[in-house]
């Protein structure tokens, strides 16, 4: 079974600054995907960024980037130039790449508050 751990229940950052959210995971799988999801107060979960484990290059999406350390089983999210709209719960998630069920295993989340 896979486990995902987010050790920061809450974080805050000033608008326009950079913040990094941490995530570690445990798995015996070799092929998998890792994700960061954003859940604003309206509760609709939105995909922020995705990383395929077999790719060494870290994924980036505009102001969002990851630091993927496969050997350490670490997958942190960096948000640059933070905006007020980034305030949300952020969940790290794992998905096996093989098999027939592409279910997600989530961490407990980090509540990020961006202050003006």
Partner 1 sequence: GAGVSQSPRYKVAKRGQDVALRCDPISGHVSLFWYQQALGQGPEFLTYFQNEAQLDKSGLPSDRFFAERPEGSVSTLKIQRTQQEDSAVYLCASSSRQGAYNEQFFGPGTRLTVL
Contacts with partner 1 by CB under 8 A lie at 4, 6, 33, 42-47, 50, 52, 91, 93, 95, 97, 100-109
Which of 60, 102 has the CB closer to partner 1? 102
Minimum CB separation of residue 108 from partner 1 in Å reads 5
Which of 84, 97 has the CB closer to partner 1? 97
Minimum CB separation of residue 115 from partner 1 in Å reads 22
Beta strands in 53-109 (DSSP E): 60-61, 64-69, 74-79, 88-96, 105-106
Minimum CB separation of residue 103 from partner 1 in Å reads 4
Which of 19, 109 has the CB closer to partner 1? 109
Query: What residues contact residue 42 under an 8 Å CB cut-off, 6+ apart?
Result: none
Q: Which of 22, 8, 30, 36 is nearest to 93 (CA)?
A: 36
Which of 68, 91 has the CB closer to partner 1? 91
Instruction: For CA atoms 58, 41, 26, 34, give the dihedral sign.
Output: negative
Minimum CB separation of residue 14 from partner 1 in Å reads 25
Q: Which value, in Å, is the radius of gyration of the alpha carbons in the chain?
A: 14
């Amino acid at each position: 079974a896979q486990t995902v751990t987010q050790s920061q229940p809450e974080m805050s950052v000033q608008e326009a600054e950079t913040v990094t959210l941490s995530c570690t995971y445990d798995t015996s799988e070799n092929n998998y995907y890792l994700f960061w999801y954003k859940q604003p107060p309206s509760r609709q979960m939105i995909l922020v960024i995705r990383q395929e484990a077999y790719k060494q290059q870290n994924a980036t999406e505009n102001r969002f980037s990851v630091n993927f350390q496969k050997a350490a089983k670490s997958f942190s999210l960096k948000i640059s130039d933070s905006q007020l709209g980034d305030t949300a719960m952020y969940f790290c998630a794992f998905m096996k790449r093989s098999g027939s069920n592409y279910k997600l295993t989530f961490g407990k989340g980090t509540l990020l508050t961006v202050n003006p």
